């Protein structure tokens, strides 16, 4: 299993960091924030269902918890699952855990494809370790230790993805702002040229009046 807490990292990318008016990059960042918040709620609800299941409750104290740190007693447990426990593990995975994996990958992908890919790889690795636990090839402690290492790998990947996405959004934001400024400058230049042309085409009116022996004329 992957901790549902990983998903909170998705909320690090925010439109506020971009500043300025609502560019396409800002709109995308705001969409990611909104989608991430909704997806996080859905994931929390899904893993709460896992924790409330009869299978998980029967295995509680041997499996790493979906949320929070794993107790040392679980990390050092060298016992392997009994056949009965292995059956519970299989039932737990085929039911609520598999459902949370599918939903988690889909939800992460809705926020950004990079997140969906990270979740897919993380869950695939988690399933490999889980299968070995079900087959009683590794102990509860070994499974918990692998889960802890996998947790850090996924966390690092999420942070790296966040940094890359933020950089891409900031670059897109800066580019759009530059293009907006260039467009505004071009519009001002076009308006000025139009005024010049209009002035050239405007008819000239000459008014003259005589003051004694002098003739004064003005043109408009």
- Mean pLDDT in consecutive groups of 10 residues from the start of the chain, 220 residues: 50 47 84 89 91 94 87 96 97 94 93 93 94 97 94 90 89 84 83 75 65 63
Domain ranges of the chain: 4-177
pLDDT given at position 11? 44
Question: Over the Cα atoms of the chain, what is R_g?
Answer: 33
The tokens describing 55, both together, are 């299978």
What span, in angstroms and rounded, lies between the C-alpha atoms of 141 and 14? 38
3-state secondary structure of 75: helix
Q: How many CA atoms lie within 13 A of 175 on its CB side?
A: 8
What span, in angstroms and rounded, lies between the C-alpha atoms of 10 and 111? 8
The tokens describing 73, both together, are 């007693």
pLDDT given at position 13? 43
């Amino acid at each position: 299993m992957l901790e549902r807490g990983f998903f909170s990292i998705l909320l690090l990318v925010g439109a506020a960091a971009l500043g300025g008016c609502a560019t396409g990059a800002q709109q995308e960042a705001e969409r990611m924030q909104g989608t991430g918040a909704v997806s996080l709620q859905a994931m929390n609800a899904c893993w709460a269902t896992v924790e409330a299941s009869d299978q998980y409750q029967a295995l509680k104290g041997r499996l790493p918890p979906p949320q929070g740190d794993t107790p040392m007693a679980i990390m050092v447990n060298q016992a392997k699952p009994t056949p009965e426990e292995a059956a519970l593990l299989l039932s737990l995975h085929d039911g609520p855990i598999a459902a949370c994996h599918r939903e988690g990958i889909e939800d992460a992908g809705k926020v950004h494809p990079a997140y969906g890919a990270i979740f897919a790889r993380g869950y695939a690795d988690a399933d490999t370790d889980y299968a070995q636990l079900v087959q009683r090839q590794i102990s509860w402690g070994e499974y918990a230790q692998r889960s802890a290492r996998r947790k850090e790998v996924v966390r690092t990947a999420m942070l790296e993805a966040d940094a890359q996405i933020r950089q891409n959004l900031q670059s897109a934001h800066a580019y759009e702002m530059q293009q907006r400024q260039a467009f505004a400058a071009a519009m001002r230049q076009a308006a000025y040229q139009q005024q010049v042309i209009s002035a050239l085409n405007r008819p000239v009116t000459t008014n003259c009046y005589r003051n004694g022996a002098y003739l004064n004329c003005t043109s408009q």
